[in-house]
Structure 1
Amino acid sequence: MTTEKQTDLNDPHATREAEKYDNPIPSREFILQTLEELQKPLRLFEVAKAVNVDEDDEERYEALSRRLKAMVRDGQLIRNRRGAFGLLKKMDLIKGRVLGHPDGFGFVVPDEGGKDLFLSEKEMHKILHGDRVIASVVGEDRRGRQEGIIVEVTEHCTAQLLGRLSLEDGMAWVRPDNNRIAQDVFIPQDGLMDAKEDQIVLVEILHQPSARSGPIGKVVEVVGDYMAPGMEIDSAIHAHGIPNSWSDALIAELDQIGDEVTEADLEGRKDLRNLQLVTIDGADTKDFDDAVFAKRRKNGWKLIVAIADVSHYVKPGTELDKEALKRGNSVYFPQRVVPMLPSKLSDGLCSLNPHVDRLCMVADMAIDESGKLERTQFYQAVMNSKARLTYTQVNEMVTDANSPLRSEYSEQIENVDTLYELFKVLQKAREERGALEFDTTETRIVFDDERKIKEIVPVVRNDAHKLIEECMLMANVATARFLKWHKMPIVYRVHESPMEDRLQNLRTFLADFGLTLNGGDTPTAQDFAEVAAQVEDKPYKHLVQTVMLRSMNQAVYHPENKGHFGLNYENYTHFTSPIRRYPDLLVHRAIRHVWSKQPISDFIYDDAKMVEMGQHCSDTERRADDATRDAETFLKCEFLSHRLGEEYEAVITAATNFGLFVEMDPLYVEGLVHITELGDDYFHYDNARHCLKGERTGKVYRLGDRIKVQVAQVNLDERKVDLRFIESLTESEDTGESEEVREDSAPAEGESQDDNGAKKKPRKKRYYRKKRSGGKSSKPKAKS
């Protein structure tokens, strides 16, 4: 037979299949299209007839059978009890990833978006957190959530896990360190190696869980002793599957890259080595991915943002590229980092270290007197950083005219002063644009010599931090506009407006304070900013801003440009940190493709691939957040375990139907006050108003209220801190007595005070990023 005879002419992808196979079969797309048109499940012979595959053609018929099975395995089709193949959406089935909860239940997060599907504890016994499944909607639970059952597990995603070994009466099991996996793993005696009671071990899963039995595994590595210094980070790395080793192939590839910039590297680059470019970072930072320079021009400024040219060294498809994509981003733990790129690149050849030549990608921007971006040039260059400055140094230079640093860095001071002048204009433009800013407190853990927490201190941000933020914001906006104009497929940094149900709850909450959020179903960041402005001098400012912040969606990476709600930007992407974020590397490659003047169709990525890349990078970002949070939570619990019985003042950070989460002063550690601790009353949770209210007394506990608590119990395995309620500290301004805040009234006027009676000034969280607080242990720049 000829290829034309073997292929259905109605198949839109017939040519592609004919190019790939000597004896082609119908494409997956055509099979799905056919089932959609026929509107019923079909058995194999019926599918074959519908897509013109002759049963007598044994080779093609068998190939079609294998393709249908593969489509079932990949979650594109489902096979019913009659053996017929059908479409998931026609059978009320949902394909997605399982998200486990520490309390045993879980959710299916649909691949195609929409509300999560609730899974009971019984259903979760069949699977593990992270598995990919097909689930069926069976109704609603008592809380009104869509509830489902597992129809099929399409992929088991946990091959290994880390946990704490328990031995009792000849039995052995491992409690997973990842608290989203609620099932213990049974270990047969011949799978114990030499592991001992309470050691942290790495387990290989031999048998995945099912409806009849739990997971079974064997110990493949003894990681270390429970509570050993640094074990919390090793546990988090393993628990969340963060890649943390380099392959031999990657090392061999890395060895082919020199240690210095060569003459060949400079070909076609603009020479900026005489320009007073400087880096401004934390005192302990080792990887410098951005340098800045500003100059006054007629009717505005020239701003140059030079970014490490990672794309020159990390080429698509190489081992370095594959590993960088797998990691997605660097992961910053306390005093330790798991980098996206090997140290030779991240700290060395790519890092814009002082007084050495480095390759860079440059956004050369013209900005007018009002802080508006007029035009941008992008080009590749070679630079030589003239100084490695810290935030503390720069802040002193621009706020103290008599600082000796101004003399020490006399050659750079003109650039620094110009940058600061520009920053004040950009900051004003930000306020006029209505970009959101919320009050939060970020913290840094200080360790003693034995790597135990010595103290937890608030991170103080100054104008130098904000100066760099505004420069990076401008470069990211310029990049998004440039690539959008050239119609390049990229991943934008997308932050969508709040969902309808969250807006409804927010408006209900704001109404209690006589506040109105304008904008109808589609409020803008400016509408939110107007509400924030109305509570600027009110005692309930922090409460209102916290609830507004919690109404927001998470930012993600996606090729569809939906804008950035929080920053109030129509076009926004990430360009400024390719050393530690893979999306930035993708953006750099898109810029290079524009320079090549080749057709867009020749770019190595299309929109479909960018959807996949964006989802993956969003997932690795969440993975990093979860892992660092787990490690920090364990450290804080261990810190509190030595403080049982101590009393602290605390502020309520969340209200739930089972109690109050509070943050203790001055520890900056969170714990739970169970609902039974609140007194002789029936307390009911009000989701819209974020509070617990007593049925008999009318007593209300809401976000921002202050109470006094005692550390009652610390569970290190579950990373939980239980607190005993002592008394309420929320007082009325007039009488000084505890105030019963009713749900139809706003809190009384008054200021939140510290131990000395001074009014607290919460630090502003800028809706962009935070620079690393220092070195390999510092946090990355905040997400926006």
Structure 2
Amino acid sequence: MLDQDSLSQLKQLKTNIIESKDRGEGEVRGSQRRFGFVKLDDGRDVFLAPDEMQRVFPGDRVRINVITDDKGKFKAELEKLIDSPLGIFTGRYVIRGQGHFVEPDLPRFNKLLFIPPSQRKKAKPGDLLQVKVTRHPFRDGKSQVNIIDNIGQPDEAGIEGRYTISKFELPRQWPNDDIPEQDSRAEAREDLRDLPLVTIDSADTRDVDDALWAAPEGDGWQLVIAVADPGAYIAPGSPLDLAARARANTVYLPGCAQPMLPEAITQDRCSLLPDVDRAAIVCRLKVSAEGEISDIQFSEALIRSHAKLSYQQVQQHLDGSDTLDHDALGHLKAAADALKAYRRQHYLIMPEQPDFRYELDDNKRICAIARVDRNDAHRLVEECMLAANRAAAQWLGDSPALYNSHPGLREDRYDSVNKVIASELPALAGTDITSLEGYQALIKAAETTDSTLPLQSIFARMLRPGELSTSPKPHFGLGLERYSTFTSPLRKYSDLLVQRCIRAKLQGEQPALPDDETIAALQEQLRHSRQASRQLEQWLQYQYLAGQDKDAVYQGRIAHMNGGGFTVELNDTGISGFVEARSIPEKLSFDADTLRLFNAEKNYQLEQAVNVKVAEIDPFQRRLIFTLLEPEQAPMETETEKAQGES
């Protein structure tokens, strides 16, 4: 038997061995194959072999021993599971041999999870499920899940929308409290019902939230923007207000939109429909002939839209192919043109992108896709909304409010941007690209410089996402010192909050602003809902594409680029798929500064026109792989197409 001294020495030896190990904590990351990685808190990525990866889920937080092999590469040895956030998720029911499993619909998650016989609930192969983890595999590599809900079979009408709502846990129920019948601010409102405001929107839009009017004044115009005022019916902190805050915005899912507010408000009580009295927040502006904004006034008003016009009707009026009996349209167009000219000279204008309209069949699947390019009617409305939002940020001044900011370039891309400047824009050498002034100079130079590189697109891929804050900060994307939005309160909770800030200033009160935690939750929900919308769109798009001629050749452009290949967006449908670099016979090198793949013979660059065919497609997994066709493989351009291109 060992004496006390010996035991102490052994204990100390064990402690020394443990302390001498290279250990760390981090998050498990999956891959397209069976292995994975652990992203350590110190920044290292440590390889996790397939047998170890079998014991964890992507997203798990673990403690590992870091082993260095004879080639100096790091390898992880799992020591402890600290946390596993994976609980409830969705997936597809599959049978492999005698085993019944769920195939998780999770990013970089490549394992099947076992469903025990007592929990299968008569599910059939292919059924879409919501499940819950009941056994973690850390101890022995064996996991288990129970079925919570069988969402439906893959061929059911509307299954894609129901599944997406379940996957992203989008709220579907409204609180039981009654919506007030009366406008809480009716007596305080300015009566503007005789002002001939008109709304301009899509022909089938019911949630109409803005109306416009303009008239000549001095050397410019008076511009009036009236915005629906749901705050007249929704009290801060009420059950309906909290439900709207939890949703954050309306989620536009093809065939099954999830509104932020009940239809009784968005399509009836607050919608600026024609010939009915409506509560509104009204912004009055003076727009000079040069497009400068002055004399900003806000008020709570009672308005009456004098017409519901569609973009198509207004465009036909503007191009002279039809005539509408609304004198304000010509003045609105002139004021909008001046506003845009001023923005182009003093701020920044983002490149226009086409929209794509989906026609759905009885099963709520895409049967046709129409490309919709922006016209003067779209631009007129957009310019008026931008002017109103710019004016709101300016008018609020230093008053408590909610602001939209854009922090500019990502810090990790500063070196790349400066390398591109040195090569392509030497006159800007030494420019402070972290400042608003420097960023404006960069983008304006990118617009006008004759370069073989698509500089605007390169810089656009290096930007940080926008942010919400309770203090004014620069909006780099628009080139503005400050910016705030209030023009979509039926669809965006942040705009409803800004309207409350405007009302508070009008009344000389302090608004109740959200704290940092609430703002972070709003931003996360916005990101979450955008992801839901994008994933359902991809699912339906890929179903549509899978039904086309398998040998069809598509024209597109390179929209994104990384070392593994590039994303191609198809011109006629907006559908995006991936071209793997390894599918191109000649080995390519990736330039992370200019975002291009190249070798001695070939060069692939952002915005480059390419022709592709579908190689692999799985709508449920949202996987689309294109085969790139070299110019000699692509079909010859017809004379009609050539003439259209020249025109």
Could you say if the C-alpha distance between residues 516 and 716 of structure 1 is closer, same or farther in structure 2, counting changes exceeding 3 Å? farther
Could you say if the C-alpha distance between residues 665 and 415 of structure 1 is closer, same or farther in structure 2, counting changes exceeding 3 Å? closer
Could you say if the C-alpha distance between residues 267 and 107 of structure 1 is closer, same or farther in structure 2, counting changes exceeding 3 Å? farther
* Residue range with higher mean Cα deviation, 509-518 or 474-483: 509-518
Match among 385, 409, 415 for residue 472 of structure 1: 385
Match among 561, 574, 584 for residue 495 of structure 2: 584
8 Å Cα contact 2:25/2:40 also seen in 1: no
1:370 aligns with 290
Task: For residue 325 of structure 1, report the CA deviation from its aligned partner.
Answer: 1.0
Q: Confirm or deny that 1:499 pairs with 2:424.
A: no
1:533 aligns with 448
Task: For residue 498 of structure 1, report the CA deviation from its aligned partner.
Answer: 0.9
Could you say if the C-alpha distance between residues 276 and 282 of structure 1 is closer, same or farther in structure 2, counting changes exceeding 3 Å? same
Task: Supply the AA of the counterpart residue of 1:424.
Answer: D
Q: Confirm or deny that 1:727 pairs with 2:630.
A: yes
Pairing of 1:233-382 with structure 2 (within 5 A): 233-243=161-171, 245-247=172-174, 250=175, 252-253=176-177, 255-258=178-181, 261=182, 265-382=185-302
Q: Could you list the per-position Cα deviations for residues 423-482 of structure 1 after superposition, in whole angstroms to 9, with x for gaps in the alignment?
A: 111011111113133254432223345444333322221111111111111111222223
Q: Could you list the per-position Cα deviations for residues 653-699 of structure 1 after superposition, in whole angstroms to 9, with x for gaps in the alignment?
A: 333322333234544333233223322x33222222222223xx442
1:416 and 1:727 mapped to 2: Cα distance? 48
Please report the RMSD computed on the Cα atoms of aligned residues, expressed in angstroms: 3.9
2:578 and 2:230 mapped to 1: Cα distance? 45
Could you say if the C-alpha distance between residues 577 and 649 of structure 1 is closer, same or farther in structure 2, counting changes exceeding 3 Å? closer
1:165 aligns with 93
Could you say if the C-alpha distance between residues 689 and 571 of structure 1 is closer, same or farther in structure 2, counting changes exceeding 3 Å? closer
Pairing of 1:607-618 with structure 2 (within 5 A): 609-618=514-523
Match among 604, 619, 622 for residue 701 of structure 1: 604
8 Å Cα contact 1:439/1:545 also seen in 2: no
Task: Supply the AA of the counterpart residue of 2:214.
Answer: A
Could you say if the C-alpha distance between residues 525 and 676 of structure 1 is closer, same or farther in structure 2, counting changes exceeding 3 Å? same
8 Å Cα contact 1:363/1:379 also seen in 2: yes
Task: For residue 117 of structure 1, report the CA deviation from its aligned partner.
Answer: 7.9
Q: Confirm or deny that 1:403 pairs with 2:322.
A: yes
Pairing of 1:142-221 with structure 2 (within 5 A): 156=85, 159-179=87-107, 181-207=109-135, 210=138, 213=141, 216-221=144-149
Could you say if the C-alpha distance between residues 546 and 418 of structure 1 is closer, same or farther in structure 2, counting changes exceeding 3 Å? same
* Residue range with higher mean Cα deviation, 200-209 or 101-110: 101-110
Aligned-partner SS, 1:477: helix
2:330 aligns with 417
2:4 aligns with none
2:29 and 2:218 mapped to 1: Cα distance? 56
Task: Supply the AA of the counterpart residue of 1:582.
Answer: Y
Unaligned runs of 5+ residues in structure 1 are: 1-81, 83-90, 732-736, 738-750, 762-784
Task: For residue 651 of structure 1, report the CA deviation from its aligned partner.
Answer: 2.9
1:109 and 1:92 mapped to 2: Cα distance? 6
Q: Confirm or deny that 1:604 pairs with 2:547.
A: no
Task: Supply the AA of the counterpart residue of 2:88.
Answer: Q
8 Å Cα contact 1:165/1:200 also seen in 2: yes
1:771 aligns with none
Q: Could you list the per-position Cα deviations for residues 708-764 of structure 1 after superposition, in whole angstroms to 9, with x for gaps in the alignment?
A: 333222123432222333323699xxxxx9xxxxxxxxxxxxx9x994254379xxx
2:562 aligns with 656
Unaligned runs of 5+ residues in structure 2 are: 1-14, 16-22
Pairing of 1:129-148 with structure 2 (within 5 A): none
Task: For residue 386 of structure 1, report the CA deviation from its aligned partner.
Answer: 0.9
Could you say if the C-alpha distance between residues 319 and 659 of structure 1 is closer, same or farther in structure 2, counting changes exceeding 3 Å? same
1:303 and 1:267 mapped to 2: Cα distance? 25
8 Å Cα contact 1:125/1:211 also seen in 2: no
2:396 aligns with 483
2:65 and 2:406 mapped to 1: Cα distance? 29
Aligned-partner SS, 2:214: strand
Match among 313, 334, 339 for residue 393 of structure 1: 313
2:590 aligns with 685
1:668 aligns with 574
Task: Supply the AA of the counterpart residue of 2:201.
Answer: D
Task: For residue 136 of structure 1, report the CA deviation from its aligned partner.
Answer: 9.8
Pairing of 1:507-518 with structure 2 (within 5 A): 507-509=418-420, 517=428
Aligned-partner SS, 1:437: coil
Task: Supply the AA of the counterpart residue of 2:300.
Answer: Q
Task: For residue 495 of structure 1, report the CA deviation from its aligned partner.
Answer: 0.6
8 Å Cα contact 1:436/1:525 also seen in 2: no
Pairing of 1:11-50 with structure 2 (within 5 A): none
8 Å Cα contact 1:294/1:302 also seen in 2: yes
Task: For residue 387 of structure 1, report the CA deviation from its aligned partner.
Answer: 0.7
Match among 461, 464, 477 for residue 553 of structure 1: 464
Aligned-partner SS, 2:473: coil
Q: Confirm or deny that 1:443 pairs with 2:356.
A: yes
1:153 and 1:560 mapped to 2: Cα distance? 37
1:513 and 1:221 mapped to 2: Cα distance? 56
Could you say if the C-alpha distance between residues 102 and 267 of structure 1 is closer, same or farther in structure 2, counting changes exceeding 3 Å? farther
Task: For residue 515 of structure 1, report the CA deviation from its aligned partner.
Answer: 6.8
Could you say if the C-alpha distance between residues 185 and 728 of structure 1 is closer, same or farther in structure 2, counting changes exceeding 3 Å? same
Could you say if the C-alpha distance between residues 365 and 708 of structure 1 is closer, same or farther in structure 2, counting changes exceeding 3 Å? closer
Pairing of 1:12-91 with structure 2 (within 5 A): none
Aligned-partner SS, 1:336: coil
8 Å Cα contact 1:360/1:382 also seen in 2: yes
1:101 and 1:313 mapped to 2: Cα distance? 49
Task: For residue 493 of structure 1, report the CA deviation from its aligned partner.
Answer: 0.8
Q: Could you list the per-position Cα deviations for residues 518-547 of structure 1 after superposition, in whole angstroms to 9, with x for gaps in the alignment?
A: 633332224312321234xx7x57x33321
2:48 and 2:470 mapped to 1: Cα distance? 36
1:365 and 1:150 mapped to 2: Cα distance? 65
2:432 aligns with 520
2:571 and 2:126 mapped to 1: Cα distance? 33
Task: For residue 704 of structure 1, report the CA deviation from its aligned partner.
Answer: 3.1
1:148 and 1:288 mapped to 2: Cα distance? 58
1:747 aligns with none
Task: Supply the AA of the counterpart residue of 2:217.
Answer: R
2:342 and 2:249 mapped to 1: Cα distance? 31
2:28 and 2:413 mapped to 1: Cα distance? 23
1:482 and 1:137 mapped to 2: Cα distance? 57
8 Å Cα contact 1:134/1:153 also seen in 2: yes
TM-score in terms of structure 2 length = 0.84
1:423 and 1:125 mapped to 2: Cα distance? 59
2:621 aligns with 718
1:472 and 1:436 mapped to 2: Cα distance? 14
Aligned-partner SS, 2:188: coil
8 Å Cα contact 2:93/2:102 also seen in 1: yes
Could you say if the C-alpha distance between residues 394 and 118 of structure 1 is closer, same or farther in structure 2, counting changes exceeding 3 Å? farther
Q: Could you list the per-position Cα deviations for residues 153-211 of structure 1 after superposition, in whole angstroms to 9, with x for gaps in the alignment?
A: 5683x543221111234422212234365554432221122222211122233346657
8 Å Cα contact 2:157/2:362 also seen in 1: no
1:453 aligns with 366
Could you say if the C-alpha distance between residues 171 and 604 of structure 1 is closer, same or farther in structure 2, counting changes exceeding 3 Å? same
1:759 aligns with 645
8 Å Cα contact 1:754/1:760 also seen in 2: no
Could you say if the C-alpha distance between residues 308 and 135 of structure 1 is closer, same or farther in structure 2, counting changes exceeding 3 Å? farther
